[in-house]
Structures are given as C-alpha cells and as structure tokens.
Amino acid sequence: MGREVSESCIDALITEMVSSYCNRFYVNKPEVSARRIEAIGYQVGIQLSERYTVERPRFSEHLEAIKFICKEFWSELFKKQIDNLKTNHKGTFVLQDNRFQWLTHMSINASAETTDSSQQEPHSPNSTTLDANLLQATSMHLYFPCGIIRGALSNLGIPCAVSADASNLPACSFVIRIKA
C-alpha cells in the first residue's frame, strides 16, 4: 500500500511497550511482562505472515517455511536477510542475524562505554557487569521478535517455541524448536 513511517516511530513504540509492561503494568513480575510482550509479537507475526504469503502456495515442508522466514519475511521487516541458518535436522533451527536492528542502539551505547577501558577485550572484567546489565535489558525486548517468529510460523501451520540469544551483541540468534 506504500504508506511509510519513520523507523524511530517503530523503535519508540516497541521500546515504550516493553517499558510499560515491565515498569508499570507488571512491576516485579517479569515473567508476566515477558508473556504479554511475547503475545503482542505473536499477534503481529500471525498478521504479517498472513499478508506476506497471500500469493504463495502452501509450504510443503518445515525447512521451506523456515527459509521463507529467513529471507522474504526478514527482508520485509529489516531490509536484510538472516545471515546464518543452522539446523540439527530434528526440528531445531538457529537463525542468526549478525546485526539485529532492534538491538543495534543498545550495542552502540555499550561499545561507546567500553571502548576506553577495554578496546580489544570485550570480555575483560570491566565489561562483565555491563554485559550482564545489557543482557537483562535486551532480553525483555527480545520477547517481541520471538513472538513475531512464533506467530508467523504458527500461521503457516507450524507450532513451535522460539527463544533468543543476544549474548553476542549486536548479533542475535533465534532458536526455533518445532513441536512434534
């Protein structure tokens, strides 16, 4: 339909949604906040996947659907594809985005603070606490894209569980476990 909004609009909305759930609606109940944030993502994922697959025949196998998520789906959302896809051929898939857009501002802040003391040593003692704090803040944000992926696959008839690993910012891995 061609309508466009600024990226900062989307960023600001997601950030505020996460912060509202964590700091206002369910203070001290991070697991409830996490479920709600994931649920919002799930809803968005279902609808996006519905839209992006309108003109497309049904996927005949899981790998095809996963590849669709890695390529077309990711490109629609982030203007880039997933950088690396791994699977154990038993229903687990690991999708790595080397520079996940929704976390880049966090990693920029982090690297700005660490450059002075530990330029070449990302795992020096100085950066350990910083890494921990950063992880905590990012993990809440990641429930949203995890929900989106789960919603998208669920809409394609593939029930699954999705988790994320952002211990290596700005890279982020999404682990999809398809339910047998």
Q: Which stretch binds other proteins (CB under 8 A): 42-50, 124-132, 135-143, 167-175?
A: 42-50
Task: List the interface residues with other proteins, window 13-32 (CB under 8 A).
Answer: 13-14, 16-17, 19-20, 24-25
Spell 64-83 as b/e; 16+ CB within 10 A means b: ebbbbbbeebbeebeeebbe
Distance CA(155)–CA(64), nearest Å, equals 14
Task: Tell me if 7 contacts other proteins by CB under 8 A.
Answer: yes
Asked if the bond preceding 145 is cis, omega within 30° of 0, the reply is: no
Considering the rule CB under 8 A, would residue 1 count as an interface residue with other proteins? Answer: yes
Question: What is the size of the binding site for other proteins (CB under 8 A)?
Answer: 30
Q: Which residues of 26-61 are buried (b: 16+ CB within 10 A; e: fewer)?
A: beeeeeebbbbbbebbbebbbebbeebbeeeeebee
Q: Which of 10/161 has CB closer to other proteins? A: 10
Q: Residue 47's beta-bridge partner residues?
A: none
Instruction: List the x/- string, 133-172, binding to other proteins by CB under 8 A.
Output: ----------------------------------------
- Which is nearer to other proteins, 62 or 164 (by Cβ)? 164
41 binds other proteins (CB under 8 A): yes
